[in-house]
Structure 1
Amino acid sequence: MRIASLVLFLIGLALPARAGDFPDKGDPAEATRRTLATADGPRDYLVQPLPGRGPRPVVILLHGGTQEARQIWKQTSLATIARREGFILVAPNGLDRHWNDGRGATIAAGPPSTADDIGFLLAVIDDVARRDGGDPRTVFMAGVSNGGFMAMAFACSGRFQLKAGANLISNLPAAAVGACKAAPTPWLSLNGTSDSVIPFAGQPAGTVRRGEEQPALLSADETFLFFAARAGCARETLRDRLPDLDPGDGSWVERKTHPCPGARSAVQYIVHNGGHVTPGLALGPVLGRMLGGVNMDVDTGSLLWSFFGDQRR
C-alpha cells in the first residue's frame, strides 16, 4: 500500500474527539444502508431517515479517497445535527473507495475511477426523495478531499441544481474552469494553509506527487472565488477570526463572508497552520504532522449546517 493510501486509511480509523460543546459525532451503526442497481453494478449509500412526512432538506456527504461512507459518517457531527434540525443525512459510497472526480489522477493506490458517479448521485437523490420525502429542491452537498473534488464535479456537470455546495480540503482542477456548467450556487470552501496533500496555493500541471503526475489545481482562494463569482456574490464584507478554543494546536480559523443575491452568502474558512484533515477530528501527533497539522477550534459539521441552514432560509 502506498504511503498516501496508508495515511488516508489511517485517517478513516481515527477516533474523532469531542471538544468544547461540539455535538457528538455520528454512529454509522444507526444508519440505514441501501443498494441501488447502476450501470457500474450494485452501489450503496447510508441514510438517516426522519419520522413523519416530507418534504425534508437533504445533505449529501461524500467521503475522501480510500475511505467509505461509514468512516466519514463517524468523522462529523452531521448525523446528530440532522436529528435535531430535521434534515436527511445521506453518505454514498464511492466505487472501490474512490470517486471519479474528473482529475484523471489519484495520489492513492490504484488507477482513477471511471464510474458514472454523477449518475449514481442523481439516482441517490431520486431514491431519497421517493422513499424518505427528501426535497429535490433543497439538496446540499459537501465533500472531503476526493469527495470535495467530486462535489465540485457534480456541481459543474450542470445536471442538477444544488441548494448549496461545499468543498473541504480540495481545490478545483484548472481544466474544470472553462468546462464548468454549474448554475449559480451558494458555496462554502474550507482548506488548511499547511495541507501536505492538496496544497493551499494550488499546483501546476505535471506536479509529481507520490510518484504520479498530477493535474493543475487552482489555489484554495481561487477555487472559492470561482464558485462565489458564479453565484453573483460580491467582495467580502466580513473577515473575522474564530475563537481559538485550543491554543495548543498552533492553528486558528479565519472566516471570510461574501454577500450573494437573495440575502444568501458564500463563505470561505481558512484553517491557518491546518493540514489535510477537517477541523474537530483528532489524530495522533505523528499522523497530524504528516498531514500538516490538526485544528480543534471548530466543529466541521456545525460549520456546514450553519451555512446550509442559512441558505435554506
Structure 2
Amino acid sequence: MKNFIRAGLLGCLAGFATQAAACSTETPCPVGDRAYYVAAPEGGTQDGPAVVYIHGFGGSGAGALRNSGMVNDFLARGYTVIAPDGVVREGRNGRSWRFHPASGGQADEIAFLQDVRDDAIARLGLNPEGVILAGFSIGGSMTAYTACAAPESFAAYAPLSGNFWRPHPAECAGPVQMLHTHGWRDGTVPIEGRVVNRVERDRPDAFAQGDIHYALGLWRDTNGCTDYQARSFDTSTPFWQRSWTGCESGSALTFALFDGGHVVPRGWPDLVVDWVEALPAN
C-alpha cells in the first residue's frame, strides 16, 4: 500500500509512540474538538493492525466499544479497535457524521478521521499500513465517502449496512479495497435505499439513501473491473460473498450478504479480518 502518513507526522510526533497511551474504552484521546476511544488486544498495539470503527446515527465512540461481542472478536484476532466520536447533534442526544453530499462537511470529517489515524499510529505504535476503516449504518456511509474522496487514507474499507446516499457520487478518486456487508432483510437501510424525510420521493430535495447495487457499480468502475458480474462466490459461511476479479492491481471488491436486518451480525469481525488477511500484498 502507498504511504499515507502526511508529511511531517513522524517529525512532529517523534517519540510519542513510546509514551504510555492515555486513552482506553472509557478515557478519550482528544483530537481537535473531538476524541476517540481505544480497546487494545492482549498482546499490545505495537506494530499491530487496527480497525477504526465509525459508530452509527445517535451513537458515540465510547458507546461503540460497549458492543463487547464485536470488539472482543476483533481483539482476539490481534486488532486494536479505535472508535472516534461523530459530531454532536444539536438539541438531541448522541452523535452523527457529516456524511451526506449536501452536508458541506464531508471534507472536514475525512480530515478528522485522518487525524485520528495519525494520532493513534503515533500514540499506540500501530503498523501504519495495517489500519482499516469500518463503520455501521451512517458510519458505513462515512466509510464509503472517505474511500471515495481519499482512498489512500486507509489500507482497506469495510462498510456495514450503509454506503452512498442520493445523489450518488459521479465518480471516485481511485481504486480501493472494499468489503461491503449488508443484511438481506434490512429495513432501516434497505439494499435499494429509501426516502427518510417526509417529502415526495421524486423531489430533488428528498433526503434518500442510495442503492447498494448502484454503489457496487461505481466501485467496479473505480477499480477498473472488466466485468459487470462477479466471478468468485463463497457460500460456505453465513455470509454469502460475491467478489469481482479482473480489476485494477491493488484493488478489491466483495459484497457479503447475511440473513438479518439492521444489525452488526455475529461473525462480522472475523469476516472482515479473514477478507483483509487474504488480500494480496501490494
Q: TM-score under structure 1 normalisation? A: 0.67
> Aligned-pair distance for 1:82?
4.0
Preserved contact between residue 87 and residue 96 of structure 2 (Cα < 8 Å): yes
Partner of 1:45: 36
Preserved contact between residue 59 and residue 140 of structure 1 (Cα < 8 Å): yes
Preserved contact between residue 62 and residue 143 of structure 1 (Cα < 8 Å): yes
> Aligned-pair distance for 1:165?
0.4
Q: Secondary structure at the match of 1:148?
A: helix
C-alpha separation in 2, matches of 1:160 and 1:150: 15
Q: What percentage of aligned pairs have identical amino acids?
A: 24
Partner of 2:197: 209
C-alpha separation in 2, matches of 1:232 and 1:114: 25
Amino acid at match of 2:158: A
- What whole-Å deviation, never above 9, does each CA across 1:122-179 have from its counterpart, x for those lacking one? 1111111111112332321111011011111212222743211021111312434225
Unmatched segments (≥5 aa) in structure 1: 1-28, 106-111, 245-252, 281-298
> Aligned-pair distance for 1:268?
0.8
Amino acid at match of 2:78: G
Aligned length: 245
C-alpha separation in 2, matches of 1:194 and 1:266: 22
Q: TM-score under structure 2 normalisation? A: 0.73
Aligned CA distance change for structure 1 residues 46 and 99 (closer, same or farther; 3 Å)? same
Question: Which stretch shifts more, 87-96 or 261-270?
Answer: 261-270
Amino acid at match of 2:243: T
C-alpha separation in 2, matches of 1:115 and 1:161: 12
Unmatched segments (≥5 aa) in structure 2: 1-22, 89-94
Q: Residue 137 of structure 2: which of 142, 145, 148 is its match?
A: 145
Amino acid at match of 2:264: T
Partner of 2:255: 268
- What whole-Å deviation, never above 9, does each CA across 1:211-260 have from its counterpart, x for those lacking one? 7964454322222332244223454223343456xxxxxxxx42212235
Partner of 2:99: 101
Aligned CA distance change for structure 1 residues 30 and 130 (closer, same or farther; 3 Å)? closer
Q: RMSD value over aligned CA atoms?
A: 3.2
Partner of 1:198: 189
Q: Secondary structure at the match of 1:142?
A: strand
Q: Secondary structure at the match of 1:171?
A: coil
